[in-house]
Amino acid sequence: MIIHSPTGLPRTCSSCHHRAVTFQGEYDVVVVGSGGGALTGAALAAKAGLSVCVVEKTSLLGGTSAYSGGACWLPGSQVQQRAGIADSTEGARAYLDAILEQPDAAANAAKVEAFLATAPRLVAQLETDPDLDFEWLPFSEYYAGPGRVPFGRSIQPTNIKRAELRPEIAHLIRPPVERDRAGAGGRNTLSGGQALIARLATILVREGGTFRTDLPVTGLVSDDAGRVVGVTASSSEGPVEFGARRGVLLAAGGFEGNDAMRRAHGVPGAAAWTMAPRGTNAGEPIAAAVALGAATDYRPLGWFCPGLAQPDGGGSFTLGFRSGLMVDRSGRRYANECLPYDRFGREMAKEAARIPSWYVFDSREGGRLPAIAMPEGDPADHLAAGTWVSAGSLDELALAAEIPVAALVETVERFNRFAETGVDEEFHRGEDEYDTFFATGAGPNKALLPLDSPPYFAARFVLSDLGTKGGLVTDAAGRVLQENGAPLPGLYAAGNTASSVFGSVYPGPGAPLGSAMVFAALAVEDMAR
């Protein structure tokens, strides 16, 4: 059964306190949020015979997961084995041992092991369902080191046609970001994150699960013993409450959409620049858990990415730079532009003079941005709004972008010499597998192409993110912990609602989604015991 809006109201109530309560609806499991982690937990709970209600803030399902490419970093699974990929749990452990930063690696050791042990088992479990299967996705991992798999170990759900979906689900799947934000045409074939959401939603509905949309969760309800037994949500008709006999799973994103929380916890960037759907992920479920004594690990980090500034003030997730170079307001490069997006974003975040930055490129691609931006927007609209500038010479371009002329000219000339020799003496662009994954050059280093085809362009870039990385402290079973380290009974968290199992590091494509799916699954396993 799917219910899109409340059909009745409970007595006037408030959240986050101990009392006897009559719920509008009562279920074994209540899941807050509808992204990949949330729906993995919901689908598995329903398949285990538990009654499940998914409570979603907006009118559409999928959250940021629906915008994503659907990559899932789930190492050592049968999908990689089918594809002949040299992946294993042991290899993934070696990779994480090499890249995770202290003290996070030590603090999260038990959770890392739980993730590694569960990932292949989860994939096998999901693939037993006729409505869900995966395929290997060639996409380089983000760090060089022991255990790294050439062209990556990430997997993704197979495509599904919109016409194959249940009618009650088809209109609920959030559109891709290009359509949701820029009005571009939709696709009849759902791929990536849309396919994942559609397939998991299909399983949930088939197994009798319930969706409640347009209901922002405002609080949690606990009983006299301190156990979380339900959630409170706000509707146009008043507050509504849903009971949870086995547990509540919070998987509703982080606080990336809340500028006040970002400032309070030192997270660079801005809510306008995040890739979360507009009006979402403002941290209300986290605050509700904190009101009941939940411990938090608020870190000043996100899953960062360079964001192409848009005329409406937003930012667009951008990766795969093929030519051009990035400069700060002094006209100087500050990093390898072909770094994985989170690593480049972290470099951008180090200095205030780097936000905004300017990406300088020439006309070798006909005036289009030589990168993948989602959405890119129309170059003419950018030029009219001033988010892009163009000129026939570098001198004129520098003046238009308010960059020191001599510095920009010197930077480009130096970069062009690197392109000629094939060696980036400053930042080593083109020396790593990831650097050349999107490259198209034909010179000695295909990641280095000279800027020599006027007119020239400069595109403004801001610091975007795919979500924040700090949140509720959880254990290896996804249980939310109190300040004293004891579990808060009945409450679980996964995805960006919880503090990241990987700490400050972004291991590879789909690491946020894969870890969200694993800990949602572990949470449901604990509830079912």
Q: Are residues 503 and 406 in the same domain?
A: no
Domain end point (choices 465, 485, 518):
465
- Specify whether 91 is located in the same domain as 224: yes
**Structural domain containing residue 473:** 1-301+469-529
Burial class (CB in 10 A: 0-12, 13-18, 19+), 314: buried
For residues 211 and 293, membership in a common domain is answered with yes
Domain boundary among 415, 431, 465: 465
Q: Which of 314, 327, 323 is nearest to 397 (CA)?
A: 327
Same domain (yes/no): 377, 482: no
User: If you search the block for the tokens 């009745």, which residue do you land on?
Assistant: 8
Q: pTM score, two decimals? A: 0.95
pLDDT number for residue 188: 77
106 by Cβ neighbours in 10 Å (0-12 / 13-18 / 19+) ranks as exposed
Cis peptide leading into 375, omega within 30 of 0? yes
Distance between CA atoms of residues 401 and 394, nearest Å: 10
**What pLDDT score does 15 carry?**
45
Q: How many CB atoms lie within 10 A of CB 225?
A: 9
CATH number at residue 265: 3.50.50.60
Same domain membership, residue 287 and residue 154: yes
pLDDT of residue 135: 98
d(CA 228, CA 376): 44
Q: Give the rounded distance of the alpha carbon of 205 from its chain centre.
A: 25
How many folded domains does the chain comprise? 2
Tokens describing residue 107 = 């603090």
How far CA 20 is from CA of 118, 221, 226, 227, 405, in Å, comes to 37, 9, 12, 12, 70
If 0-12 CB within 10 Å is exposed, 13-18 middle and 19+ buried, where does residue 271 land? buried
Please state the three-class secondary structure of 71-125 as a single string.
Answer: CECCCCCHHHHHCCCCCCHHHHHHHHHHHCCCCHHHHCHHHHHHHHHHHHHHHHH
The residue to which tokens 């219910």 are assigned: 3
Q: What angle do CA 83, 430, 274 make, to 5 degrees?
A: 75
* pLDDT averages per 10-residue partition of the chain, 529 residues: 33 43 88 98 98 98 97 98 97 98 95 98 98 96 97 97 92 92 78 97 97 96 96 93 98 98 98 97 98 96 98 97 97 98 98 97 97 96 98 98 98 98 98 95 95 98 98 98 98 98 97 98 97
The continuous run of DSSP H or E covering 36 comes out as: helix 36-47
- Residues 491, 508, single domain; the answer is yes
* 3-state secondary structure (DSSP) of residue 284: helix
Question: Quick one: 4 and 135 in the same domain?
Answer: yes
CA neighbor of 353 nearest in space, from 337, 329, 335: 329
| 328 and 403 within one domain | yes
Q: 258 and 354: one domain?
A: no
Q: Cα–Cα distance between 159 and 377 in angstroms, integer?
A: 25
User: Are 218 and 336 part of one and the same domain?
Assistant: no
Answer yes or no: do 381 and 525 share one domain.
no
Q: What integer pLDDT is reported at residue 185 of this predicted model?
A: 65
Burial of 142 (0-12, 13-18, 19+ CB in 10 A): buried
Same domain, 290 and 360: no
Tokens of 481: 């912990």
Q: Give the C-alpha separation, 527 to 529, whole Å.
A: 6
- Residue (of 350, 345, 347, 343) closest to 505 by Cα position: 343
CATH number at residue 394: 3.90.700.10
Sign of CA dihedral 446, 448, 453, 455: positive
Instruction: Tell me which of 416, 445, 465 is where a domain ends.
Output: 465
